[in-house]
């Protein structure tokens, strides 16, 4: 089957959750189908000849990405549009023309549009069957129904949600099927759009367990790790809360504890820098996670399932997360990870793991088994391949 895969993110290097999902999808698809990748170039230096991409895609094309600018003239005019402002402002005529050119120059059996920014180009797909990959409603729905904040904030979120809901109802009708990352997201989509009768398939975020088998590093008994760029607000919000409210309680009991934070910190300040290292981009993130005793996921917002949790579980590093952070995962507190939503309980769980090596090994073993059963791409990919066969015949 010839597939045109449209991506908002250039998937290599896979240095965020979206890129990691897309890279693994392409890697799985490339083993069975002829895949052409058309991606936005979201970073200054994108290597079209990167062997990691060339080995899984027959052709690779990129178009420059322009970040959403809420103060641009297009974004201001979009207040009058029924489409979301971000969709209007980031729309790329060059991307639209590139899609038209590829479809007119060769025959494709299927189009996969990854995430909302690429689904927006559905008017240019012609009559080719298309899959909307990774529909995500949770974050926008949660913001619109959050009672906290001032009336201006609530009004803005309500207006955004009104536009998104209307826009999604149109988008969903343009695709033969869609995927979501969790059963919770699937039920939310069905609740919001009860008239939508097309297929909705759960393709969870996964990892490749085989990729972690070669990691051999010594664990540092006092090291905590958090992986995630502060350019994603949920990550910054998580670390502000942890450093301000949780970490002092851990240091009071175990003053030698160190916290390593990876990813672009975007120049954003933290409440304290005591025993905190901002590591920035790390070449071998797996080795860093493996060298840490506890991986943290103290998130309070965002949607989907957290690849940072699955990655740590697959590597064998115990996880302490908030309930929101572990949302969408079929993981049980005290068996596969620890869940805590107050500073006191979060600190207690981290301290418990730091002090009990036997508990760490037990949690790690259970978590790795869970990932192998439900969140390994080798086991999940056949579900996606089967869906693509059904979509291509519609």
Between 75 and 294, name the one with better pLDDT: 294
What pLDDT sits at residue 334? 95
Give whole-number Cα distances, 130 to 137, 145, 176, 210, 386, in Å. 20, 31, 6, 31, 14
| pLDDT given at position 82 | 84
CB 304 within 8 A of CB 136: yes
Using one digit for the tens of pLDDT, what is the confidence trace for 248-266? Answer: 999 999 999 999 999 889 8
CB 15 within 8 A of CB 8: no
Instruction: Give me the pLDDT at residue 144, please.
Output: 46
pLDDT band at residue 154 using 50, 70 and 90 as cut-offs = low
pLDDT band per the 50, 70, 90 thresholds, residue 147 = low
Mean pLDDT along residues 111-115:
97
Q: 39 pairs with which residues across the strands?
A: 7, 62
Structure confidence at residue 306 (pLDDT): 81
CATH number of the domain located at residue range(s) 2-206+377-392 in this protein: 3.40.50.2000
For residue 135, give the 3-state DSSP assignment.
Answer: coil
User: How far apart, in Å, do the first and last CA atoms of the chain sit?
Assistant: 14
- DSSP secondary structure code for residue 394 in this structure: -
Angle 343-355/357-374 helices, nearest 10 degrees? 100
The two beta strands, 2-7 and 110-114, are: parallel
pTM: 0.85
Q: Which two tokens stand for residue 284?
A: 């071998």
> With DSSP H G I counted as helix, E B as strand and the rest as coil, what are the percentages for the chain, rounded to 5?
45, 20, 35
**CATH no. for 209-374:** 3.40.50.2000
pLDDT band at 204 (very low <50, low <70, confident <90, very high): very high
Residues of the chain with pLDDT > 70: what percent?
A: 94
Domain segments of the chain: what residues? 2-206+377-392, 209-374
Q: Locate tokens 């050119």: which residue? A: 101
Q: What are the pLDDT digits (tens) for 168-192?
A: 999 999 999 999 998 989 999 999 9
* Both tokens assigned to 102: 């590829």
| pLDDT tens, residue by residue, 40-50 | 998 777 778 78
Q: Is the pLDDT of residue 151 over 70?
A: no
Q: What is the pLDDT of residue 303?
A: 64
Digit-coded pLDDT (tens) for 4-42: 999 999 998 887 788 989 999 999 999 999 999 999 998
* Cβ neighbours around 183 below 10 Å, total: 12
> What mean pLDDT value characterizes the chain?
91
Query: Does the structure show a pLDDT above 90 at 161?
Result: no
Mean pLDDT of 200-216: 92
């Amino acid at each position: 089957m010839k597939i045109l895969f449209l991506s908002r993110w250039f998937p290599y290097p896979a240095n965020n959750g979206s890129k990691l999902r897309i890279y693994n999808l392409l890697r799985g698809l490339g083993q069975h189908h002829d895949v052409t990748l058309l991606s936005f170039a979201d970073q200054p230096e994108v290597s079209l000849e990167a062997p990691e991409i060339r080995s899984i895609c027959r052709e690779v094309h990129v178009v420059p990405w322009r970040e959403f600018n809420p103060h641009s003239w297009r974004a201001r005019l979009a207040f009058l549009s029924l489409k979301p402002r971000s969709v209007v402002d980031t729309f790329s005529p060059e991307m639209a023309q590139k899609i038209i050119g590829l479809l007119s120059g060769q025959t494709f059996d299927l189009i996969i549009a990854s995430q909302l920014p690429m689904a927006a180009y559905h008017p240019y797909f012609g009559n080719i069957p298309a899959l909307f990959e990774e529909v995500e409603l949770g974050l926008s729905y949660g913001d619109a129904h959050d009672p906290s904040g001032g009336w201006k904030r609530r009004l803005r979120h309500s207006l955004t949600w009104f536009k998104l809901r209307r826009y999604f109802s149109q988008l969903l009708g343009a695709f033969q099927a869609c995927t979501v990352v969790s059963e919770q997201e699937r039920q939310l989509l069905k609740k919001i759009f009860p008239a939508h009768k097309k297929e909705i398939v759960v393709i969870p975020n996964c990892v490749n367990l085989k990729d972690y088998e070669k990691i051999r590093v010594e664990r540092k008994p006092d090291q905590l790790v958090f992986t995630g760029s502060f350019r994603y607000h949920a990550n910054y919000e998580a670390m502000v809360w942890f450093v301000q409210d949780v970490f002092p309680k851990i240091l009071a009991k175990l003053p030698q504890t160190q916290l390593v934070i990876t990813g672009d910190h975007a120049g954003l300040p933290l409440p304290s820098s005591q025993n905190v290292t901002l590591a920035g981009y790390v070449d071998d993130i797996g080795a860093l996670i493996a060298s840490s005793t506890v991986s943290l996921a103290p998130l309070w917002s965002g949607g989907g399932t957290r690849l940072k949790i699955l990655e740590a579980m697959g590597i064998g590093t115990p996880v302490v997360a908030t309930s929101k952070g572990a949302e969408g995962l079929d993981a049980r507190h005290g068996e596969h990870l620890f869940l805590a939503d107050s500073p006191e309980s979060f600190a207690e769980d981290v301290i418990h793991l730091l002090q009990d090596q036997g508990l760490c090994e037990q949690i790690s073993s259970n978590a790795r088994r869970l990932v192998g059963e439900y969140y390994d791409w080798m086991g999940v990919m056949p579900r996606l391949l089967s869906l693509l066969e059904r979509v291509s015949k519609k």
